[in-house]
Structure 1
Amino acid sequence: MRCGPAVQGNGSWVTVRFSLSAPPGRDGGRRAAVRPSAVGRTTALAAAVLVLVLMVLVIVRLPWVGDLGMHAATVQRLRHSPLDPGNPLVDADTPSPYYSPWMLLLGIVARLPGLSVFVVLRLAAVAGLALLVTGVWRYVRTLSAHRAAPALALLSLLLLWGTTAFLWSGFTGMNSLALTVSYPSTFTLGLAFHFWAWLTGALRREAAWPTWLGLGVLCAVILLCHQFSGVVAGLGAVATVLAARPRRAVWPRPAAGLLLGALVLWAWPYYDFYALFGAGAALEDVHRVLYGHPVARYGLVLLGVAALVPRWRRDRWDPLVLFFALGVLVAGAGWVSGHYSWGRALPAALIPAQLAVALEVTGAGRRRLRACWAVLLGGALVVGAWAQAGTLGYVLPRGVLPGVVEDGYRPPWTGYHWITPWVRYGDVVMAEGRAARQVPAYGPYTVAPGYPDFFLPDERGRVGATVRYFAEGTSEGVRRGIEREYGVRWVVGRGGWPGGAGLREVARGPEGEVLYAVP
């Protein structure tokens, strides 16, 4: 480094100024210094790419935990009968909210020769992940022009959660996304980010009528594909419109888009969308867990909440601040009123907070303040990555993982492919518990649905019949009557189960279960 004096006179005083510059190179030029911002941008992008590679490797394995069987069964029904699929889980002619435009497309793809349902779900996972990444990229670009902002935002969405890994569809944590990436919720959330980006652009340029009508149709598709993520998308849209404060003359255009979207929802032939408003009571208990252990599950997001404060001070109509407020309002109302299914709106509070801290790192303002946010976010991302390190277990052998990482790994379910040499598509299988949640993925039906079914009128009777069938004190005559009533051809039960005395053992599974043939 060179220090050269420069003397400047100003009447009665003289100032001495020193100029700092890099020494000249051999060619007389200056050596370019590596800017910290460029290093940070490269680091963020490399980390985001590394996480995405991990997600792609998870897709190759497609671990089975949770609702994968439900979505595989839905594709099975649409594959065999796209116009009249019936109930996806039981042998009944009822509608289902799982028959969405996205699943219909997957069912049609599954009709191509050589494509199994699980291959199609892997393709769905790739499409959903790509849509989510590009959607985040586009939406963040509407909030910041900094080239590092999208990568940091993606890392925040995946890693800025809590100190305990959390799994739920529609939540973007890395561990959660690894197990739900093939679900319609991931595809829908990706559509939501694109929807917010498109909506922001339409408001800024006061788009013409066709754009607003297209937005209305897209909003309806989002709601049909995954209703809970559709609520999050709707809250984000409301926040975007409120933040833009469009002129009164523009309002008829979005109103027309909303009307067209409502008509699309009404016209969808596979289920009555508006009937779902009465289904909340059946879902409250299962969603109570969303409000449990908030610090362990969402504690790191508090850094994002702190980042929303300077955004609110700069602009009382900031879209992320409004988005967060609406999410807190809906989720909080669910907790106070006992409508725990409203907790599915929690991403509407989490997403804007996660994005806000990423934008503070790359935003305008004092360099020291940005550096402070960068250090805080970097530390929080490291903690979040460590909390979700068990995700590595889905791509690496368990013996390779350190003990503390292996402890956070949740082994996937085995599956019931071992019954397929005997059980055919459309056969009715008596099963309970996890078996009832997995068997329909291969084409058969079960007596009782493995998941709550709002549109199945005799759900309670089917559940009761299954409980009686597997109860130890049930007589053989009662079991034979249940088999005749529901057309049962096969039973999946535990080895040594007393009720298997009158059945013929056909095969044994890897976890001690037995496939019985009904006489």
Structure 2
Amino acid sequence: MSRLKTGPHRPPGAVPDAFGPDPVATRPLLLRAGAVLRRQAPYLVCAAVFWLIMAIVVFHTPLTGDFGQNAAAVARVSENWRHPANPVIKEPGRGSPYFSPYAVALGLAARATGTAAWLALRWSALLNLAVLAAGVGVYARTLSRRPLAPVYALAAFTLLWGWQPELWSGFCGLASLTQVAPYPSTFAVGLTFLLWAWTDRVVRRGGGWWAHAGLGALGGILLLIHPITALAAATGVAATIAGRERTWTRRTAAAWTVTLTVALTVAAAWPYFDVFALAGDTTVDAVHRRLYEQLLPWYVLALVGLPALAWRARRRWRDPLVLMFGADCVIAAYGWFSAHYTYGRVFALLLVPLQFALAVELAEIPPWTRLRKVLVPLSAGALCVAFTAQVGAVVPSSVLPLPISRPEPWNDYRWVADRVHAGDVLLTNGYQPSHVLPAYGVYTVWPAWPDPSTTVADRNRRSVAVSSFFAPRTSAATRRAVVHRYGVQWLLLSPGEHVRYPGTVIAHHPSTRETLIHLP
């Protein structure tokens, strides 16, 4: 009987595991693994579906927005990773913040595999979506052990923005992700969630010097990839430490000092640009003023999480989500009152405490409580509005019962890229070609997006040159001077433009009515 209870018979002196693991000893491990799998199964399924649908949509979305700028940075690294040229104008690129570790890694990968830069950037969307989904799930589990908490968090994070979805880098609503999934900002947001989850683990369970140094290294890389996201990430780290750390000792202070020191050292050691010089840079402030002018249309649906966040604050004012929300609000307010509107980019993560508080409380609160009776109808109404606003960017119009407005698709400029060699300079005053063509390695005269590595005077001079070239009364001599000064080899005329040029018409697009001209 004892043999039946203790397992298979073993010869005297035999090693205990010589005949394989003891079934009785391994049973608790298998039970724990099964329990973990069952607990995580709902989110694994939802995250996989999210990843698959978004990947399909992203690969069918035309190149738009800042894709050209980011792909151009990848192309310059692929051409010369030691001294890449400016992403969009034919000038040296030293000091350009677009040469982040993200762009350099993609550029080196494109160079090693022979992949076109724009394709390498588009394929990176698969990685970014995976990192984002993993980050949301891991961070949600630090707030709740309920199986549905990560599921609710993913839904809230991608849907609860506003009734008017904004397609902006770092904004991870479903509609925005269809365009910005390949951008470094999306990768940075995913890393932010992983950084917060790792910080929570270190604070709760303790961590050695190497764990704190690893946190610092990840924070430094995040700062280089997307500085404004890193600022919001830092508030989350600080909120987690302040909310979770119970006792402060000299060793605790020293450990977190190591984390900060490593982060600053990693950021300062990056050879391509000085990330700390961006703190006072006002180059792109005017562009970001819009983030403050559309507060209700872009962010209002996230406010349904305010009762849940207030409930958490009432229970414990040192709750990390509460502290994070307060700190991000201070940063956003500073951006407005200082007219340094670039800090408005913090809105991309300012909504996270509202979204995640709602998700966690819906998963945690028993059905009969008063708060749940408030949150459920509020959430249902907000999600209906959000779904209507966001679904048009993901679901084909043919399967929708009602017409839903969706962003106007941009034109495809591969017909130009097939004729213009990478590294050639093209002159155009069209908004879309100025943004898209750099993705294929084409230089433009005027940078479509301000780059702090170029001076304001040079950008203004280039803008005046483009305007004067296309002005109807500009003399032929002035146009020749512009062509000579900037080494222009190609001219792209928008519909209805009549400019005298000493070149050859190479192609004429029948639908956009744009004309491509090769200059001698």
Interval of TM-score (by shorter of Structure 1 and Structure 2):
0.7 to 0.9
Q: Distance in 1 between matches of 2:84 and 2:217?
A: 24
Q: Distance in 2 between matches of 1:89 and 1:114?
A: 21
Q: Distance in 1 between matches of 2:376 and 2:121?
A: 37
Equivalent residues of 2:68, 2:438 under 8 A apart:
yes
Is residue 272 of structure 1 aligned with residue 274 of structure 2?
yes
CA displacement at 1:43 relative to structure 2: 8.5
Residue in 2 that maps onto 1:85: 84
Q: Distance in 1 between matches of 2:394 and 2:309?
A: 32
Q: Distance in 2 between matches of 1:48 and 1:380?
A: 21
Q: Distance in 2 between matches of 1:48 and 1:367?
A: 29
More deviation in 260-269 or 289-298? 289-298
CA displacement at 1:404 relative to structure 2: 2.5
Q: Distance in 2 between matches of 1:43 and 1:113?
A: 37
Is residue 448 of structure 1 aligned with residue 446 of structure 2?
yes
Structure-to-structure mapping, 1:191-340, within 5 angstroms? 191-245=191-245, 246-249=247-250, 250-279=252-281, 281-340=282-341
Equivalent residues of 1:493, 1:514 under 8 A apart:
yes
Q: 1:516 to 1:403 in 2, by over 3 A?
A: farther
TM-score (norm 1): 0.87
Q: Distance in 2 between matches of 1:314 and 1:495?
A: 62
Q: Distance in 2 between matches of 1:164 and 1:276?
A: 30
Is residue 416 of structure 1 aligned with residue 395 of structure 2?
no
**Identical positions, percent:** 36
Q: Distance in 2 between matches of 1:144 and 1:416?
A: 47
Residue in 2 that maps onto 1:341: 342
Q: State the secondary structure of the residue aligned to 2:105.
A: helix
Q: 1:46 to 1:197 in 2, by over 3 A?
A: closer
Alignment deviations for residues 298-331 of structure 1 (CA, whole Å, 9 cap, x no partner): 1111111121111001111000000000111111
TM-score (norm 2): 0.87
Q: Distance in 2 between matches of 1:347 and 1:169?
A: 9
Q: State the secondary structure of the residue aligned to 2:170.
A: coil
Is residue 426 of structure 1 aligned with residue 423 of structure 2?
yes
CA displacement at 1:378 relative to structure 2: 3.0
Q: 1:376 to 1:44 in 2, by over 3 A?
A: farther
Residue in 2 that maps onto 1:67: 66
Question: Greater strand share, 1 or 2?
Answer: 1
Alignment deviations for residues 169-222 of structure 1 (CA, whole Å, 9 cap, x no partner): 111211111110010010000000000000111111221111111111110100
Structure-to-structure mapping, 1:118-129, within 5 angstroms? 118-129=118-129
CA displacement at 1:389 relative to structure 2: 2.0
Alignment deviations for residues 6-42 of structure 1 (CA, whole Å, 9 cap, x no partner): xxxxxxxxxxxxxxxxxxxxxxxxxxxxxxxxxx999
Equivalent residues of 1:500, 1:516 under 8 A apart:
no
More deviation in 441-450 or 318-327? 441-450
More deviation in 267-276 or 107-116? 107-116
Q: Distance in 1 between matches of 2:45 and 2:161?
A: 20
Equivalent residues of 2:302, 2:351 under 8 A apart:
yes
Larger RCO (alpha carbons 8 Å, 6+ apart):
2
Q: State the secondary structure of the residue aligned to 2:284.
A: helix
Q: Distance in 2 between matches of 1:91 and 1:501?
A: 22
CA displacement at 1:493 relative to structure 2: 1.2
CA displacement at 1:109 relative to structure 2: 1.4
Structure-to-structure mapping, 1:109-120, within 5 angstroms? 109-113=109-113, 115-120=115-120
What letter matches 1:137 in structure 2?
Answer: G
What letter matches 1:452 in structure 2?
Answer: P
What letter matches 1:419 in structure 2?
Answer: V
Q: 1:123 to 1:422 in 2, by over 3 A?
A: closer
Residue in 2 that maps onto 1:34: none
Equivalent residues of 1:59, 1:126 under 8 A apart:
no
Residue in 2 that maps onto 1:377: 379
CA displacement at 1:232 relative to structure 2: 1.4
Equivalent residues of 1:45, 1:148 under 8 A apart:
no
Q: Distance in 2 between matches of 1:215 and 1:51?
A: 28
More deviation in 180-189 or 265-274? 265-274
Q: State the secondary structure of the residue aligned to 1:98.
A: coil
Q: Distance in 2 between matches of 1:92 and 1:293?
A: 36
Q: 1:45 to 1:425 in 2, by over 3 A?
A: closer
More deviation in 101-110 or 452-461? 452-461
CA displacement at 1:236 relative to structure 2: 0.9
Q: State the secondary structure of the residue aligned to 2:516.
A: strand
Residue in 1 that maps onto 2:27: none
Equivalent residues of 1:328, 1:348 under 8 A apart:
no
Q: State the secondary structure of the residue aligned to 1:516.
A: strand
Q: Distance in 1 between matches of 2:160 and 2:495?
A: 44
CA displacement at 1:376 relative to structure 2: 3.0
CA displacement at 1:113 relative to structure 2: 4.1
Q: Distance in 2 between matches of 1:223 and 1:251?
A: 22
Structure-to-structure mapping, 1:24-63, within 5 angstroms? 50-63=49-62
Q: State the secondary structure of the residue aligned to 1:111.
A: helix
Residue in 2 that maps onto 1:160: 160
CA displacement at 1:427 relative to structure 2: 0.8
- State the superposition RMSD in angstroms: 2.1
CA displacement at 1:482 relative to structure 2: 1.0
Q: Distance in 2 between matches of 1:320 and 1:154?
A: 16
CA displacement at 1:53 relative to structure 2: 3.4
CA displacement at 1:264 relative to structure 2: 1.4
What letter matches 1:450 in structure 2?
Answer: A
Q: Distance in 1 between matches of 2:387 and 2:367?
A: 28
